[in-house]
Amino acid sequence: MKTKIIIASLFLALFTSCKNEEKKPVVVEEPKVETFDVAIDLIIKADDEMILLYKDGTNQWFDEDHAVWLGVKGSNSVQTATFNLPEGVIGTDLRFDIGRNDFKGLEPIEIKKITISYKGKRFEINQDKVNDYFSTNEFIVYDPATKQYSFKKNDKGEYDPYFQSKEPLLAELIKVAQ
């Protein structure tokens, strides 16, 4: 009889202690998405849009299907405009546009640094080297004394300012992507 009481007490203790246990939520961390990123540290004094167009091996020309748009708030301080390419996309050639092709008398901008990064690798272009890695088109005028880029219409009244990769940058993009 004592054995039956002891066994019954053990079962009772076992079942009552299980009821009081709290279930801990299972935390599932989603893997961090690693994207090919281009960050531009600049001073842009008026609200505007910047567009990063890219080639990724699937397109021969820059087009809107291969573009990342970013609204930028005007400020007299340095700010960072960061473009994240879609997951799995690696930029092999870059072009970034200032504005939406309508001339608004945009004040000059100053590019302090451009950083290109992917999966822990990065390449930085400091202010003094921007023109070594990017060319400007006819709608942009660079002033080396102030290190500012100003914008203008051409003789036909057209306006489409952009910076495009030069050969030295293409080689660096490959290094970052490897």
Total-model pTM? 0.79
Question: Does the pLDDT value for residue 165 go beyond 90?
Answer: yes
108-154 residue pLDDT tens: 999 999 999 999 999 999 999 999 999 999 999 999 999 999 999 99
Give percent above pLDDT 70 in the chain. Answer: 81
23-47 residue pLDDT tens: 566 666 666 678 999 999 999 999 9
* Measured CA angle at 62 (ends 61, 65), to 5 deg: 110
CA 136 → CA 116, 122, 164, distances in Å? 19, 23, 6
